[in-house]
Structure 1
Amino acid sequence: MHEDRIHPNLVVQSSDSVQTLRIDRPERLNALSSSMVDSLIDWARAVSFDRTLRACIITGTGRAFVAGADISEYDGVSQSGFDAYQRKSRRMFDSIAEISHPTIAAVNGYALGGGLELALSCDFMIVSETAKLGLPEVKLGLLPGGGGTQRLARLVGQARAKELIMTGRSMTAAEAVGYGAALDSVPAEILIERSGQLAALLARNAPIAVAEIKRVVADGTDCSLAAGLTLEQRALSGLFATDDATEGIQAFIEKRDAHFSGA
């Protein structure tokens, strides 16, 4: 497995067509500094254009996935400086959400504030049974500014999202699954294995089709049913013209495994 450190606190490992990003700042519970945010934006944009990849996993080192932003950087900051930081954070979360490949948040521990928002920006969330997930910004006199009020509500519904955000309480792993925020909860020792299994399943399928499914589901959420169905039909028509569709149909007829090229 090839490993690179793209930032002092960010490690990337690649194996076959799956890349794992590990947030590696355990002494600060993986709190995101401004420079880490910059590097995460660059990473997200780079992997989106990497055609050798078909899935990405994001996880953390130690007791936390990400315990939020590095609040020490807020001390003494001006209003304009705070607003600039929030705009940059928004770009990071959006960049993660817009990665063309499917993304899996392997939540190994605390996912608080921006940490939960990072996980919510991924397509799938698999959590350790001991994980704690929450948006405690209200306790600082603030609100989640990285998509927490919007992405969480779209997964768990408005009433539950408002209860969690207004109280600032943390969800257990079982609650996160039960509410629909997380896909699965597993023992900590098999979290990466389980996430890798899902990534491998996703990587076997036609990458253009997977990317289109991701796009159509996301875009269709914010429009009428009729408009969403039109998005679906247009995407299907475009996919039918791809080499991967030709291969997939032929493989089905010949009763063999398909070999998708991403074309």
Structure 2
Amino acid sequence: MSAGTVEIRRSGSTAVLTLRREAKLNALSTHLERELLRALDDKAVTTSRAVVLTGGDRVFSAGADTGELREMTPEAITAYYRDSGAVYEKVAGLPQPTVSAVAGYCLGGGLELALATDFRVADATAVFGLPEVGIGILPSSGGTYRTVRAVGPARARELVLRGRRLSADQALAWGLVTEVCEPGAHLEQALRVAGELAALPPLAIAVTKRVIDAAADTPRESTLLLEQLAYASLNQAARPATEDPT
């Protein structure tokens, strides 16, 4: 199945979304972002138990199509974040577990998209970086926020302010990616991870994802309360129905 620049297919209970703008190194144009938004609402995705996002065998994404944004007024940029620019938070908010399968360049907006997923599997060819400050802007699709959460403020400054590029092994050592595999094995390994997650109770996955996200920015007492309320809710949902004794 294809949605233009985004290919949609199922692998068992996992939905696989592949960016298909190879001639432009999967640069994230507003058109591609809208296609990805539409793909996320496709039945093959909404009925899946896990989602894998990839750019193919050569490149994940070399970044946003900055030429488009350069021409925008401040008003148009504000509108952009409500339109196609909302795709990054849409990915981050999916109830299913999400895995990025990364080969080659994963730069700028491409890294922001990968950071919006729960897990990042990189093959040995992957290169990660956030070059935005060097051209006078900054990562603005959750990239600054999620980079700090992933690697801490000091290393985030290396990536965001200095524009440092990381190899797959360096990204693993920094905590930016979940695991590294042999060249060309990223999709297979991402599907393996997704398959393990898809076998888990979907409600428990969805609720626990939300609690983990909240825990990073919530005081201890509030996080403990969230855990306890979530546990009570999940425990009730998991309880088997019993017959009416009367």
Higher relative contact order (CA 8 A, sep 6+): 2
How far residue 89 of structure 1 moved from its aligned partner, in angstroms, is 5.1
Q: What amino acid sits opposite 2:206 in the alignment?
A: A
Aligned-partner Cα distance in 1 for 2:57–2:24: 10
Aligned-partner Cα distance in 2 for 1:193–1:62: 11
Contact kept, 8 Å, 2:53 with 2:99, in 1: the verdict is yes
Aligned-partner Cα distance in 2 for 1:49–1:65: 20
Aligned-partner Cα distance in 2 for 1:79–1:48: 36
Local SS of the residue matching 1:145: coil
Aligned-partner Cα distance in 1 for 2:161–2:36: 28
Aligned-partner Cα distance in 2 for 1:231–1:152: 24
1:78–1:151 Cα change, 3 Å: same
Alignment counterpart, residue 147 of structure 2, candidates 143, 146, 152: 152
Residue 20 in structure 1 maps to residue 20 in structure 2: no
Structure-2 residue corresponding to 1:32: 28
Superposed, 1:47-62 pairs within 5 Å as 50=46, 52-62=47-57
Local SS of the residue matching 1:231: helix
Note the residue ranges of structure 2 that are not aligned, 5 or more in a row: 242-246
Contact kept, 8 Å, 2:10 with 2:44, in 1: the verdict is no
How far residue 61 of structure 1 moved from its aligned partner, in angstroms, is 2.7
Local SS of the residue matching 1:122: coil
Local SS of the residue matching 2:79: helix
Superposed, 1:1-263 pairs within 5 Å as 4-6=1-3, 8-46=4-42, 50=46, 52-88=47-83, 90-243=85-238, 246=240
Aligned-partner Cα distance in 1 for 2:240–2:167: 45
Aligned-partner Cα distance in 2 for 1:20–1:176: 23
1:65–1:37 Cα change, 3 Å: same
How far residue 116 of structure 1 moved from its aligned partner, in angstroms, is 0.1
Aligned-partner Cα distance in 2 for 1:150–1:90: 16
- RMSD of the alignment, in Å? 1.9
Question: How many matched pairs?
Answer: 241
Aligned-partner Cα distance in 2 for 1:210–1:106: 20
Contact kept, 8 Å, 2:130 with 2:163, in 1: the verdict is yes
Contact kept, 8 Å, 1:124 with 1:182, in 2: the verdict is yes
How far residue 87 of structure 1 moved from its aligned partner, in angstroms, is 4.3
Report the TM-score, using the length of structure 2 for normalisation. 0.92
Contact kept, 8 Å, 1:10 with 1:36, in 2: the verdict is yes
Local SS of the residue matching 2:184: helix
Contact kept, 8 Å, 2:33 with 2:85, in 1: the verdict is no
Aligned-partner Cα distance in 2 for 1:222–1:152: 14
Runs of at least 4 residues off by over 4 Å: 45-49
Q: Which stretch has the larger CA shift, 53-62 or 129-138?
A: 53-62
Q: What amino acid sits opposite 2:167 in the alignment?
A: T
Aligned-partner Cα distance in 2 for 1:212–1:119: 21
Aligned-partner Cα distance in 2 for 1:80–1:104: 33
How far residue 86 of structure 1 moved from its aligned partner, in angstroms, is 4.0
Aligned-partner Cα distance in 2 for 1:165–1:89: 23
1:167–1:48 Cα change, 3 Å: farther
Structure-1 residue corresponding to 2:244: none
Aligned-partner Cα distance in 2 for 1:232–1:144: 31
